[in-house]
Structure 1
Amino acid sequence: MAALRLLPGRARDFASSDYWERFFRERGGRAFEWYGEWQDLRASLGRYLRPRDSILVAGCGNSELSEQLYDEGYQDITNVDISEVVIKQMQERSAHLRPKMTYMVMDVLQMDFPDERFQVVLDKGTLDALLTDGEETTLSRAERMFAEISRVLQFGGRYLCVTLAQAHVSKMAIEYFSREGWMVRIHQVSGDKAGTSEGEFALPIFVYVMTKIRRVPGSALCILELCAEAQDKPIRFKSTEHLIEAVKEMQHYSLLRSQINKNPSSGTVSLDLCSKDTGQARYTLHVVHSLTVKASFDNKFAIFIVPQGRETEWLFGTDEGRKQLATCAGFWRLVTVALHRDQHYEGMEAIQAELSEKVMELAPPGLPAGQQVPFLSVGGDIGIRTIQHRGTSPLSGEYVIEDVKGDGGHCFRRLIFLSNRNVVQSEARLSFRSSHKGELRCGEDEMGVTLLQGNEALPRNKKHKKKKKTASINSAEPAAEPAAVPAGQSIDKTYLCCAHHRAMIAGLCLLKNPEHLPASSSYDAIMFDVDSKDSALGMSCPPPDFVEKSFLQKVRTLLKKEGLFILNLVCRDTQLHDTVLATLRETFPLLYVRRIEGEVNEILFCQQQAKHKLPPAELRDTAQILEKALRQPGQAWDATYVLADVLEAVKLL
């Protein structure tokens, strides 16, 4: 707690010599390690230091970094600091143990050294202490510091800056040195080692490596590179803006990791992993916790690969579904991985190799080194996604029509608007049925997953087999190569993919004679399932004009007296939802609702004669009559669609 009392009331005080005099006087001889010790920074700094280098430590403070470097053989070290108190302390500490070490009171904005005196300038936290904000006077001070560093460095020399890389610091440093024609390379220090001697930072620590090279006349080329954690090969960027943005993304990722570990009950954390080559999103990761699972080393963490095309299913595409998936699989923390369209994947083994390093960064703290973390999936392959058509709608923008392998090995043809790429706009089941038997069922009493190692599906892990009335994933033998869905397959017209469509059709049972729907100038039934394009309204179906009282009255005039108006309502705004229901009640005296489990959709059945209310027993009889009328002899029928079952959840409002 003593360190907290030493912190200044204003950030700008970090740049004050009076503040640092007081800080080191009150701190005494105890070292304060801004941003970690030498052992934490060795992997990033060590490759840019040679024992023969003449090193200037700018703003040394009472850090032990210089002493640790000296003891490892880097003995040509000059330390400067603006505080007389700390320089005296450090001189006394090293006088006998490190006779070649030099300490000097000096302002880094105006140093007394001759030009090109050093091969390395090492700065751990000094730039951050000086550049506390983006004000013009502060930026001017930082520019003076950079100019002095440039002056005292030899050509080929390196300015090594250990920093938190806050936005204004990152922008100033990268733009200044790239403008001067220097080579700019940024390393992220391992997230496990970022912090001070008093605690850890939520933000990652970076090492900026600015190499002074001679500017080639007429050349605008500047080398800009970034090295992530444990990554040897740097990524090169074409502009300072792109490099600055990449640093921000790494900081955001580090904050997400911190949030996950500090507060696992805060909800699902989602992020995209992008292709290094194209910058396009390649994987979407969702980190979920099942707090009802008692965590041990064996079931603390797992990764679940969602086969292509199945990311829209409730179990994989909603927070509630993913939590249930984690519980059923028996893991405390589960990372689900969705594969993006327009990306090529070689197979499960290649995906695991590509993801292993990154997903392990999301592992819970305390996981033993070398702990085997399982990759799970439905079956042993990555699924099928075949794009059949692309286009652009003037109303909805870009869209794709694609075939995917879904639940039960069936193949589906889907329409997806890319403005909302994880929502299936419409879907039909193809008559083709895959021979692959991996399937996903909800409401079963057994849980099993396919445990993957390389590209093979191993036997189900028996200790995760549990009796539960929850989601069930049945393991299957690994498929060889997933085959493309054959072109020209017919549509299974007996199957309704959307739960709300099933409810709308079942609602026809509310009619007096649902098996007879003759054509007429007035209608027995009118259905609305209309998408709204205004995402800011809080109601995505239907557009507001379709539920205005004047419009609903026109709908009523088109219905027979015993007719039925069926509306798919998707409204997240509570106040707007209540307003729509009130308007419907004013227009239609009899109002039923069928809410769709796991979705926002609710189907409203509206009639203009309250006396036409059907009792439950009569409703079941009517359902059987309608279902018999819909079944046509000699044609297929979807046995999973039972009208009476759908109607059980219909409530009178």
Structure 2
Amino acid sequence: MELLPRSPGDFGSARYWDRFFRQRGQRPFEWYGAFPELCPVLHKYVRPCDKVLVVGCGNSELSEQMYDVGMCEGIVNIDISDAVIRQMRERSGSKRPKMSYLVMDVFQMDFPDAEFQVVLDKGTLDAILTDEEEATLAKVDKMFAEISRVLQVGGRYLCVSLAQAHVLKKAVEYFSQEGWVVRVHQVASSGDKQQFVLPIFVYVMTKFRKIPGSAPRILEICPDEQQKPMRVESTEQLVAAVRDRQHYALLRSQLSGTPCGEQVALDLCDRESGRPRYTLHVVDSPSEKPSRDNHFAIFIIPQGRETEWLFGMEEGRKQLASSAGFRRLVTVALHREQHYEGMAGIQAELSAKVMELAPPGLPAQQQVPFLSVGGDIGVRAVRHRGSSPLSGDYVVEDVRGDGSCHFRRLIFLRSRNVVQSEARLLPSLPLQGQKKRRKDKKKPSPAEPPAAVDKSYLCCEHHKAMVAGLCLLGGPDPLPGTPLAVLVVGLGGGSLPLFIHDYFSQAHVAVVEIDPSMLEVATGWFGFSPGDRLQVHVSDGLDYVAKLAAEAPAQYDAIMFDVDSKDLTVGMSCPPPAFVEKPFLQKVKTILKPEGVFLLNLVCRDAQLKESVLGTLREVFPLLYARRIAGEVNEILFCQPSPEAHRDTAELGARAQALEGALRQPGCPWDSSYVLADMLQAIQIL
């Protein structure tokens, strides 16, 4: 005969359970949660003098083990199955004289009010609450009302559960509305092979007298027995916290099997704030014969470098894992809102958690190394925080890069792993360390002197490509002394228009920026300074270009678009879709001189959308070049209104060398890593 129920309703049928236990015989049936796992939680809430009621006891050994270890003796067990109650009386009658077994329905118990200090439920609620039908919920309400009736004030209802969302939500809402304190414990695994992949939870509902009015509910979760419970504000937050633990358990189960083909990512959050503290990526590398010492390693990404290709992109992390030579590498990114006590502190904090992500077959007592660049966790100093109605919350922060260089970055927190703007700091400006900031929690004064940035250095590769694109201009070589009219849409930190202004002495640069907050950031923190040849117009770029097209056509030698999209639901983060629609592009062409060049920074992850954008650009601009930025999604498009302006790679290289030679004049600092000809070497005609 089949032991599994024919329908969920069988779980509430005495006939089904009689048949089940007759079939099974004397072998104990544990739904989940062995006594060694449950013991630490039970010890917290069950006292030796307590009178305990176990509802839906089945033939579990839990009551017997509690009795045998002296946890308590006054245990009453009930079940609707006459067959199992007879079995349990035979099994325990002479051995445990103070423990009793009764045939009784949890929906209608015969006990007087306030008879027990503890009601213990191991899987009974899960078996009854199989769905959210009205009849099922009514039965559960009846069960909860009976449990509440037989419990004393101050008594505890302990419910061992797999914590399906609808089960947890129902229990929490019912008892919290009655004024009870609700705490959810995650049960620590015993380390043995488990029947269930999902973790086991114990709901601890402590009965208090209901206070009239709107008394605050007390909801807590305790994911670790070694730590204090964490207070949450709502049932939804409690359910979400439990769901996170379940997802983590599923992830661990996945990682304990064969190596993952895809990288797995997860956040470890700070207990106090609930904000992400560490972001982990698990990267498996194929290794047929791993040596004894290269099974597993942890790589701590220095603060501020999590946006670099090697650490921030999937392919980069694959390369890092491969070069490190470990079968599994876990990369750990540190978050700017958090404080860290150096590499040793991070290692102590993460050791237990990351070992749960170890690959299968890791030798016992294997020493797992913690790696980093230069052996430290880097430095990140937040210099300024702000909020813009258009861009949201943002920070300006100083970080140490590879080597001794320090950089200043603008980060929009809605895309916290994307560097919006970056500038290299001059060596004379010391970088504040975290310890100093921890002692002085005051925000930097808005009256700080302008940022000492290296204006000769273009940090962004797409900015370098745009400057190199000026070699496409018609007429004589675009030497620094040649008059030049440039329109830049999108200010950011201002390094691109500032570079053109400083190195092209006859250039007049107009910048259009829709967000006035960005102008404040650029002038206050990135050394940007408007002047006669460098003017900023706070305006919508769409409106500004449309106005110019109507009033003053063919006035710009170069037009540069470096503007991000605020709509994160579109597969194109730069520019906004309206900037590459055909009617608007025709206006751009109108204000561009016939021999000019339109340069567009395109960041598009949607292949179909990208092809559509390129098709539209080709319809408007007969000559279209493209330059991919290595290791990034960015692609720089060089658009020209006349096909006769075509130049081959050799000619472009010669023009680039001539321009660079003119720019590298005495008294004009030049970054030796920036070679204009290299930026045009991989250019392609589309």
TM-score range, shorter chain: 0.7 to 0.9
Q: Counterpart of 2:516?
A: none
Query: Secondary structure of the equivalent of 1:422?
Result: coil
For 2:214 and 2:607, the matched residues in 1 are separated by 61
Letter in 1 for 2:636: I
Distance 1:162 1:480 in 2: 44
TM-score by length of 2: 0.80
- Where structure 1 has 5 or more consecutive residues not aligned to the other structure, the ranges are 437-478
How much does 1:423 deviate?
Answer: 0.8
> Among residues 84, 87, 97, which one is paired with 2:85 in the alignment?
87
SS in 1 for 2:403: helix
CA gap of 1:250–1:565, structure 2 versus 1, over 3 A, is same
C-alpha separation in 2, matches of 1:217 and 1:522: 74
Structure 2 unaligned spans of 5+: 439-443, 486-553
Secondary structure in structure 2 of the residue aligned to 1:8: coil
Q: Is the Cα–Cα contact under 8 Å of residues 259 and 359 in structure 2 kept in the other structure?
A: no
Q: Which moved more, 1:548-557 or 1:525-534?
A: 548-557
Which of 4, 7, 10 is matched with 2:4 structurally? Answer: 7
| 1:644 aligned residue | 677
Distance 1:8 1:185, change over 3 A: same
Residue 569 of structure 1 deviates from its aligned partner by 1.4
Answer whether contact 1:542 1:568 (CA < 8 A) is retained. Answer: yes
**2:663 is aligned with what amino acid?**
L
Moved more, 594-603 or 6-15: 6-15
Pair 1:608 & 2:641 matched: yes
- CA gap of 1:608–1:518, structure 2 versus 1, over 3 A, is same
Aligned partner (choices 131, 137, 145) of residue 147 of structure 1: 145
- Residues 261, 284 of structure 2: 8 Å contact kept: no
Answering whether residue 525 of structure 2 is matched by residue 492 of structure 1, we say no
Segment of structure 1 superposing worse, 209-218 or 98-107 = 209-218
Shift of 1:139: 2.0
Q: Which amino acid aligns with 2:478?
A: E
Q: CA deviation at 1:129?
A: 0.5
Q: Offset of 1:59 from its aligned partner?
A: 0.7
Residue 584 of structure 2 corresponds to residue 551 of structure 1:
yes
Aligned to 1:188: 186
Residue of structure 1 equivalent to 2:464: 502
Q: CA shift at 1:639, angstroms?
A: 1.3
Whole-Å Cα distance in 1 between the matches of residues 173 and 365 of structure 2? 41
Within 1, Cα distance between the matches of 2:129 and 2:414? 41
Distance in 2 (CA, whole Å) between partners of 1:280 and 1:627 is 47
Residue 63 of structure 2 is matched in structure 1 by 66
Residue in 1 that maps onto 2:547: none
Q: Read off the aligned partner of 1:400 and give its amino acid letter.
A: V
1:32 to 29, 32, 45: 29
The answer to which of 286-295 and 388-397 deviates more is 286-295
SS at match of 1:69: helix
CA distance in 2, matches of 1:413, 1:12: 63
Give the corresponding residue for 1:288.
Answer: 283
TM-score (norm 1): 0.84
Task: Return the letter of the residue paired with 2:461.
Answer: A
Deviation at 1:267, TM superposition (A): 2.4
1:374 is aligned, of 346, 354, 369, to: 369
Structure 2 equivalent of residue 415 of structure 1: 410
Find the residue that maps to 1:110 and give its secondary structure.
coil
Q: Secondary structure at the match of 2:182?
A: strand
Q: Select the residue among 16, 19, 22 that pairs with 1:19.
A: 16
How far, CA to CA, are the matches of 2:661 and 2:425 in structure 1?
23
- 8 Å contact kept, 2:282–2:331: yes
CA 134–193 in structure 1, closer or farther in 2 if over 3 Å, else same: farther
The superposition leaves residues 53-106 of structure 1 with CA deviations (integer Å, 9 ceiling, x where unpaired) of: 433221111222223333324443332211222223333334555455432221
Q: Paired residue for 1:576?
A: 609
> Where does residue 104 of structure 1 map in the other structure?
102
Distance 1:639 1:44, change over 3 A: same
Alignment CA distance shift 1:495-1:232 (3 Å): closer
SS of the aligned residue for 2:127 comes to helix
Aligned counterpart, 1:48: 45
* Cα pair 1:547 1:580 within 8 Å, conserved: yes
SS of the residue corresponding to residue 253 of structure 1 reads helix
How far off is 1:41 after superposition?
Answer: 1.7
What is the CA distance between 1:221 and its match in structure 2? 5.9
How many residue pairs get matched? 605
Alpha carbons 1:194, 1:201 under 8 Å: kept: no
Q: Matched residues in 1 for 2:560 and 2:3: separation?
A: 69
Bigger mean CA deviation after superposition, 199-208 or 351-360: 351-360
Query: What RMSD in Å do the two structures reach over aligned CA positions?
Result: 3.2
Measure the CA separation in 2 of the matches of 1:380 and 1:61: 57
Change (3 A) 1:237 1:629: same
Post-superposition offset of 1:435: 10
**Structure 2 residue aligned with 1:159:** 157
**Residue 206 (structure 1) shift:** 0.7
Alignment partner, residue 120 of structure 1? 118
- 1:290/1:332 contact within 8 Å kept: yes
| CA spacing shift, 1:618–1:223, aligned 2, 3 Å | closer
Task: Answer yes or no: is the 8 Å Cα contact 1:293–1:327 preserved in 2.
Answer: no
The amino acid that maps onto 1:311 is E
Counterparts of 1:533 and 1:187, CA distance in 2 = 41
1:567 is aligned to: 600
Identity %: 65
Determine helix, strand or coil for the equivalent of 1:116.
coil
The 1:296/1:6 distance shift into structure 2, 3 A limit, reads: farther
Which one is further off, 350-359 or 407-416? 350-359
1:313 maps to which residue? 308
2:136 partner amino acid = T
Pick closer, same or farther for the CA change 1:216–1:623 going to 2, 3 Å.
closer
Residue of structure 1 aligned with 2:320, choices 316, 325, 338: 325
Shift of 1:132: 1.6
Does residue 432 of the first structure (1) align with residue 427 of the second (2)?
yes
User: Partners in 2 of 1:116 and 1:183 — Cα distance?
Assistant: 18
- 1:253-402 equivalent positions in 2, closer than 5 A: 253-262=248-257, 264-292=259-287, 295=290, 298-364=293-359, 367=362, 370-402=365-397
> Structure 1 residues 492 and 483, CA, compared in 2 at 3 Å: closer, same or farther?
farther
Give the letter for the 2:172 counterpart.
I
Alignment check: 8 A CA contact 2:409 2:422 kept: yes
Q: Does the CA-based 8 Å contact 1:119-1:154 persist in structure 2?
A: yes
**Cα distance, 1:218 vs. partner?**
7.9
Deviates more, 1:217-226 or 1:239-248: 217-226
User: By how many angstroms is 1:205 displaced?
Assistant: 0.6
* C-alpha spacing 1:386/1:86, structure 2 compared with 1 (3 Å): same
Partners of 2:379 and 2:434 within 8 A in 1:
no
